[in-house]
Structure 1
Amino acid sequence: MDPDTVLRLAHEQAMQYPSVEIDHPFGPENTVYKVRGKMFMMAFRLRGIPSINLKIDPLDGEVLRDAYAEITPGYHMNKKHWITVAGGGDDGSEGEAADEPDDEDGNGQEPGERFDSDLLHDLVLESYCLVVAKMPRKDRPVDPVTFGGRDAMG
């Protein structure tokens, strides 16, 4: 999935969630998505590549970073709790290794691991729900455990 598609799909999904607002506290080139004033996603360009930061469970983040070239530690964020997602194509690292492939076919992708729209959907939903779960119950726009069919995810 190319980086522009990642940004477009993430934006479309985030805007469907209750109480989501867009802000630009870091300038017009950085779009921050908030739920009740708390950031759960940020869209920006990292060395010219459209990218997003998403909140993540630390254990999930570690597994995802190992499995997908498009997922790296959160750029300018707490590396334990945030990831950066940039679509595949050029590289997928932090925008600097296009001439240094990680594998034989030079796409920076491990064989068999494909970053797709379903995974992106899950990551945006997870980020939103992690932020909502930290809010006092009375302030939550949704139940973070069941929102989006998450009750099976635990």
Structure 2
Amino acid sequence: MDGRELHDAATAAAQELPGMALEYPFGPDWDVFKVRGKVFLLQTVLRGSELVTVKAHPDDAVALRAEFPEISSGYHMNKRHWISLRPGPSLSEPLVREVVTESYLRVVETLPRAIRPVDPARFGR
């Protein structure tokens, strides 16, 4: 998966999620996807390479980093709870869509029930 495909897959997955908002609080070079004001996805081009950063369960983050060389600890984020994806041959569109959706659900489950756009236990299952 090349860089454009990585960003396109992450963007497409995010845009399908209820309550999603795209903002640029760090300038035009950073796409920041939020749900009810909380970040679940960041995208940029860093040193000439596309970068996608998402929230992950700590155990999943360890497993994903071990399995995929393109996945590392979250760039400028909490290394335990965030992962970053870079272009590479072992990434696929379904994988990117899955990590974006899981990131969204991890953030939604921390929101007060009254403002959750979906029930994280039932969404997409």
1:38 Cα offset (Å)? 0.4
SS of 1:60's equivalent? helix
Aligned with 1:134 (options 105, 110, 118): 110
Identity %: 42
1:46 Cα offset (Å)? 1.8
How many Å separate the matches in 2 of 1:63 and 1:12?
24
| Partner residue in 1 for 2:78 | 78
Letter in 1 for 2:122: T
**Where in structure 1 do 4 or more consecutive aligned residues deviate above 3 Å?**
none
Higher relative contact order (CA 8 A, sep 6+): 2
Equivalent residues in 2 for 1:15-94 (5 A)? 15-88=15-88
SS of 1:65's equivalent? helix
> For residues 105-130 of structure 1, what are the alpha-carbon distances to aligned partners after superposition, in whole Å with 9 as ceiling and x for unaligned?
xxxxxxxxx32111111101100000
Letter in 2 for 1:64: L
Q: How many residues align?
A: 125
Structure having the larger proportion of residues in strand = 2
| Partner residue in 2 for 1:119 | 95
Checking the alignment, whether the CA contact within 8 Å between 1:125 and 1:148 is kept in structure 2 is no
How many Å separate the matches in 1 of 2:71 and 2:4?
15
How many Å separate the matches in 2 of 1:18 and 1:50?
25
| Partner residue in 2 for 1:3 | 3
- The answer on 1:145 being equivalent to 2:121 is yes
Letter in 2 for 1:118: P
Letter in 2 for 1:72: S
Checking the alignment, whether the CA contact within 8 Å between 1:3 and 1:50 is kept in structure 2 is yes
1:60 Cα offset (Å)? 0.3
Gaps of 5+ in 1: 90-113, 150-154
RMSD (CA atoms): 0.9
Checking the alignment, whether the CA contact within 8 Å between 1:13 and 1:124 is kept in structure 2 is yes
How many Å separate the matches in 2 of 1:19 and 1:77?
23
TM-score (norm 1): 0.79
How many Å separate the matches in 1 of 2:39 and 2:15?
13
